[in-house]
Chain A
């Protein structure tokens, strides 16, 4: 089986390419995390994933162009999840990354990794994996509130405090990701055309 030279099978050079693009992607996400913390302090958790998707469109587009095989995006998602998990993020981020990775991969597969609109769509789906590290803000809220009530805090006060962390802001977060992913993705595709096709890299 291993000897079969199947063009649709991921081999070692593909894994190495995926690794390198994942590293760049991860660095960009980390930069986005820090700068969004500085730019819009208290509100950062809503816009963090959006900012990251805005700047990392190029990386994703180049990876899809270089490794147009089923499984590449999934592996990128898994490895991203692993690194989020290992750097102390909540385990939900692992799940979110894998699910979004697989879905993005399937969408790309439908377009045979050529259809530009479908690649853009898959980038949007993949970007939602980045909500993983901030998901606890909404889903761990109960634990946090329970902890505060246990220590004798006023319930009404807590409610006022958490008014901004609800499904409404989660919606804002999702819409921000959607818009930023479209802009970032289109920017990425334009860059592909402007630089990489001319240079003959893809």
Chain B
């Protein structure tokens, strides 16, 4: 299992965005997608990597088959959809890779090393930690409503909204207070450098991978591809 540095993952995400920006041709796109999928496979998330590979290949094949569609409306529509989805797929692959292979502590360590202000890091940490809580709260609120014969539906949109959001926010405010106490006890408010259980360091292969993944883009800009 080889895992890249979180900063390299963020860089790959940025590169996926640049792909859209530079209007790259299909050859460059395929090379870069392969470069994105390779670490995905190596990180042990074979299943989701395989899923993305299959989707991408299917879209590629559909795009090529429908190239000679002529004026057939339906085929043209399919081709357009295939091209459209394929264009945003590099972003999605890089995003899924970054999300599924990075633990929160690794991410925060990386963000600290990038000199992101502490306030933003704390906020991000809370957001990530709080997602599962929101889902669980929602389930409990729904159960509680069902017990009183109130169902979430389209017939009373405002009522449904009020009955779901207000308890969520009430609970959120309570959790915010509890979490603040817990975090302050652990010394999050102290000034100075914070230590971290996880240590991350740019290895030599991280640098190499960054350079390798940039080469296709440069070659495209230079007109070689």
CB <8 Å contact, A154 and B71: yes
Complex-state Cα separation, A26 to B127, whole angstroms? 9
Q: Does B156 contact A (CB under 8 A)?
A: no
**Which of A55-63, A105-113, A116-124, A167-175 forms contacts with chain B?**
A55-63
Given contacts A24-B172, A66-B173, contact A12 B122 (CB under 8 A): yes
| Closest partner residue, chain B, to A22 (CB atom) | B127
* Least CB distance, B145 to chain A, in whole angstroms: 16
CB <8 Å contact, B125 and A19: yes
For B130-165 the 0/1 string (1 means CB < 8 A from A) is 110011000000000000000000000010011001
Main secondary structure of the interface of B (DSSP, over half): helix
Chain B residues bordering chain A, tally (CB within 8 A): 58
Q: Which residues of A in the span 1-52 have a Cβ within 8 Å of any Cβ on B?
A: 2, 10-13, 15-24, 26-28
Q: Does B223 contact A (CB under 8 A)?
A: no
* Least CB distance, A41 to chain B, in whole angstroms: 13
Selected contact of B189 from candidates A12, A88, A147, A196, CB within 8 Å: A12
Chain A residues bordering chain B, tally (CB within 8 A): 58
Complex-state Cα separation, A16 to B21, whole angstroms? 35
Complex-state Cα separation, A87 to B131, whole angstroms? 14
CB <8 Å contact, A90 and B122: no
Residues of chain B with a CB closer than 8 A to A151's CB: 63, 67, 79, 83
Complex-state Cα separation, A2 to B189, whole angstroms? 10
CB <8 Å contact, A59 and B165: yes
Residues of chain A with a CB closer than 8 A to B172's CB: 20-21, 23-24
9 closest A-B pairs by beta carbon, nearest first, are: A19-B126, A88-B95, A13-B180, A23-B130, A15-B122, A19-B123, A88-B91, A88-B92, A91-B17
5 contacts between A and B (CB under 8 A): A13-B177, A23-B172, A89-B95, A143-B21, A144-B83
Measuring CB to CB, which residues of chain B are less than 8 angstroms from any residue of chain A?
13-14, 16-17, 20-21, 23, 25, 63, 67, 71, 76, 79-80, 83-84, 87-88, 91-96, 98-99, 119-120, 122-127, 130-131, 134-135, 158, 161-162, 165-166, 168-170, 172-173, 175-177, 179-180, 183-184, 188-189, 191
